């Protein structure tokens, strides 16, 4: 019984260990990829009159957002 | 600003059928006046952040306005679903041959927003011989293209002295690719394109740059603490009204020995 359990344990580890290593490598690579190129984003009009003119010309609905480009007076952070 | 909603892939995809406008709060009196008609807090003051979906003529709100998308939507998926539903109700015409370049109102704001977003900045420096309209007509189709949408922050100036804080730039008119400094108060010229650069060349260079460089992320509290310690200050164009922000600024200003927070009036320094 012991030898069967031991064999089962060993074979499980034998399968799991390479899988874990592969997963770790994949995760590391994915993380590197996500920071190695700029992801797609929303094309924001930053001027109200430009955005409104675009909406009028194309008859597309508007997603309007406003945010302050400073935090506690420090720039470079929304 | 709620990044979990606005960086969501489904929301980004849905945004292609919308005109997306992101204003900088407290940086323009006329825009602030418009925002006050959309949403104000309990005190009646313009708050730091505003979010709403609207009809193309702005006459009707298409969701409950609030400080952020989560005032009206439980999740990014529910926002994207609603946006897709709304978009189907409008027969949108194509942007056409003259799309409007999505840009900030000036380079000062452009560099700052670029730094806030962690994205590179594209600046058009125009003069009498090299009008901004021509450069915009080159860039605008790229700014909405599948490969480049939302990857750069655009702005324009006809005064190259506004870019004195940008290293390696010699003041010539053209299209500048700039990596903003940590606080968006300065930057470094990465590439310079003459105004006569062909659009294919420009598009290839921007695509290669976007694929080779990453989006910069920052630690919020560390950025603010370090910025205060180093005296990195942003003067808003109009006074800040958000009471919560003002109280927080007064607390931090007291602890850092800085003066009272204030805004600069349009035309002021």
- Nearest neighbour of B20 by CB, restricted to A42, A47, A75: A42
Nearest chain B CA: its distance from A31 CA (Å): 11
At B45 the three-state DSSP class reads coil
Domain identity same for B57 and B18: yes
Domain identity same for B202 and B243: no
Domain identity same for B188 and B132: yes
Q: Is the minimum CB–CB distance between A58 and chain B shorter than 8 Å?
A: yes
CA proximity to B130, closest of B201, B195, B198: B195
What count of Cα atoms within 13 Å lies in the side-chain half-sphere of residue B132?
16
- Nearest neighbour of A46 by CB, restricted to B113, B227, B258: B113
- According to DSSP, residue B217 is labeled -
Domain identity same for B153 and B203: yes
CATH of the domain at B160: 3.40.30.10
Pick from B2, B13, B22 the residue to mutate for testing the A interface (most A CBs within 10 Å). B22
Q: pLDDT at position A28, please?
A: 39
B148 lies in some domain: yes
Domain identity same for B112 and B184: yes
Give the C-alpha separation, A71 to A52, whole Å: 27
Domain end point (choices B187, B213, B239): B213
Pick from A33, A43, A57 the residue to mutate for testing the B interface (most B CBs within 10 Å). A43
Q: Which domain holds residue B119?
A: 107-213
Phi/psi for B188 (5° steps) reads -135, 130
B224 lies in some domain: no
Q: Is the pLDDT of residue A29 over 70?
A: no
Digitized pLDDT (tens) for each residue of chain B, 269 residues in all? 667 899 999 999 999 999 999 999 999 999 999 999 999 988 889 999 999 999 999 999 999 999 999 999 999 999 999 999 999 999 877 655 689 999 999 999 999 999 999 999 999 999 998 899 999 999 999 999 999 999 999 999 999 999 999 999 999 999 999 999 999 999 999 999 999 999 999 999 999 999 999 899 999 999 999 999 999 999 999 999 988 888 877 777 676 665 545 555 444 33
Phi/psi for B121 (5° steps) reads -110, 140
Domain identity same for B86 and B181: no
ipTM: 0.92
* Domain count across chain B: 2
Nearest CA in chain B to A49: B31
Q: Which long-range contacts (CB under 8 A, 24 or more apart) does B92-98 make?
A: B92/A58, B92/A59, B92/A60, B92/B17, B93/A57, B93/A58, B93/A59, B94/A58, B95/A54, B95/A57, B95/A58, B95/B144, B96/A57, B96/A58, B98/B137, B98/B140
Q: pLDDT at position A8, please?
A: 46
Confidence (pTM): 0.85
Domain identity same for B174 and B115: yes
Q: pLDDT at position A16, please?
A: 54
**Cβ atoms of B118 and B151 closer than 8 Å:** no
Asked if B109 lies within 8 A of A41 by C-beta distance, the reply is: no
Per-residue pLDDT of B91-129, as tens digits, reads 877 655 689 999 999 999 999 999 999 999 999 999 998
Domain identity same for B124 and B165: yes
At B59 the three-state DSSP class reads coil
């Amino acid at each position: 019984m012991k030898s069967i359990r031991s064999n089962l344990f060993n074979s499980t580890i034998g399968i799991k260990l390479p899988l874990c290593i592969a997963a770790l490598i994949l995760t590391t690579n994915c993380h590197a990829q996500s920071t190695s190129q700029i992801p797609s984003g929303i094309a924001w009009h930053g001027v109200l009159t430009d955005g409104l003119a675009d909406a009028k010309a194309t008859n597309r609905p508007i997603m309007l957002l406003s945010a302050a480009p400073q935090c506690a007076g420090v720039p470079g952070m929304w | 600003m709620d990044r979990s909603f606005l960086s969501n892939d489904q929301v980004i995809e849905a945004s292609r059928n919308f005109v997306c406008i992101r204003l900088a709060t407290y940086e323009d009196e006329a825009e602030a006046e418009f925002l006050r008609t959309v949403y104000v807090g309990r005190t009646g003051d313009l708050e730091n952040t505003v979010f709403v979906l609207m009809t193309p003529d702005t006459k009707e709100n298409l969701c409950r306005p609030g400080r952020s998308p989560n005032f009206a939507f439980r999740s990014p998926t529910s926002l994207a679903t609603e946006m897709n539903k709304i978009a189907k109700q409008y027969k949108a015409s194509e942007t056409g041959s003259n799309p409007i370049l999505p840009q900030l109102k000036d380079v000062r704001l452009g560099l700052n927003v670029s730094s806030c977003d962690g994205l590179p900045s594209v600046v058009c420096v125009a003069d009498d011989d090299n009008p901004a309209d021509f450069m915009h007509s080159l860039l605008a189709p790229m700014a909405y293209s599948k490969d480049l949408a939302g990857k750069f922050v655009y702005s324009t100036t006809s005064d190259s002295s506004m870019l004195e804080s940008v290293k390696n730039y010699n003041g010539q008119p053209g299209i500048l690719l700039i990596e903003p400094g940590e606080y968006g108060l300065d930057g470094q010229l990465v590439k310079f394109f003459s105004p006569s650069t062909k659009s294919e060349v420009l598009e290839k260079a921007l695509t290669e740059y976007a694929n080779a460089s990453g989006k910069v992320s920052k630690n919020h509290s560390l950025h603010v603490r370090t910025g205060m310690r180093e005296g990195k200050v942003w003067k808003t164009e109009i006074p800040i009204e958000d009471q919560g922000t003002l109280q927080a600024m007064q607390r931090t200003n007291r602890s850092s020995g800085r003066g009272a927070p204030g805004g600069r009036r349009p035309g002021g320094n």
